[in-house]
Structure 1
């Protein structure tokens, strides 16, 4: 049954996000560092799969489940050293809504590709957001904290020690 759910969500997300990944891919292709391209694609995949899982799995989506990617991501996306450097935060809202955040642990991206490349990636991401999934990029922990999402903020503080980082955030207001 779990395999069916994973295949279903994998197919659903694949269909829903093809245009998103094409558009993001065209922007990210301007970055010359192959590792950087891979990192940003993995980050987007994790956010979009997490959002789709939470949106369609309802009560099964919680902070504990999201902290174990192999429970909701297709196996190839759930494994690997980069997945270990990503974290996902979750906060439920009224009417079955939620806020979901995905980011890199501490300064992982900056340490791998350099601060300048990391900012190029952030800019490419910000230019390429045109998706059916609500997505906002925050480029500062302080700006993110201003939203007063207590669980999200606590989770971010647990995983990030620098102010100049970036986060993918999706908010679903519920039904």
Structure 2
């Protein structure tokens, strides 16, 4: 499915092939539609052993550390994530950081929390087709609030982007 996403945004076969591809995509929809499941039942964001925890929205990542003092991931963006010139679209990075923040909260044993804010500083171009490392941690805790940080680095340790945010523990009854 991920390779299909990449090709859907990067292939240039001509209109006849696109029509054929659309027909085949419709056939896949018809094949899978009877099995549509409720949130929390399908693989998206609930199967950590799948790339991107089973979410096609996320870049494929693998968790390499999941401990109370922080989490670490190995992640690789592809053509699907390009903003231009083989660089990752800037809007994709907050998605990754927000997911890391959620993992950090879970790894630390804190109750379910929601993002209060997320700030990203872009430090250098984030390349596609390169295995990157990401890590996140809790910087401070004040009651229901957890202040979190994360960073994304190239193999040579060049900082691509860093983020900080606020995760707020839900009150009873909050969705």
> TM-score higher than 0.5 here?
no
- Which structure dedicates a bigger proportion of its chain to strand? 2
Considering only CA atoms, is the larger Rg found in Structure 1 or Structure 2?
2
- Which structure dedicates a bigger proportion of its chain to helix? 1
TM, length-normalised to structure 1: 0.31
Higher relative contact order (CA 8 A, sep 6+): 1
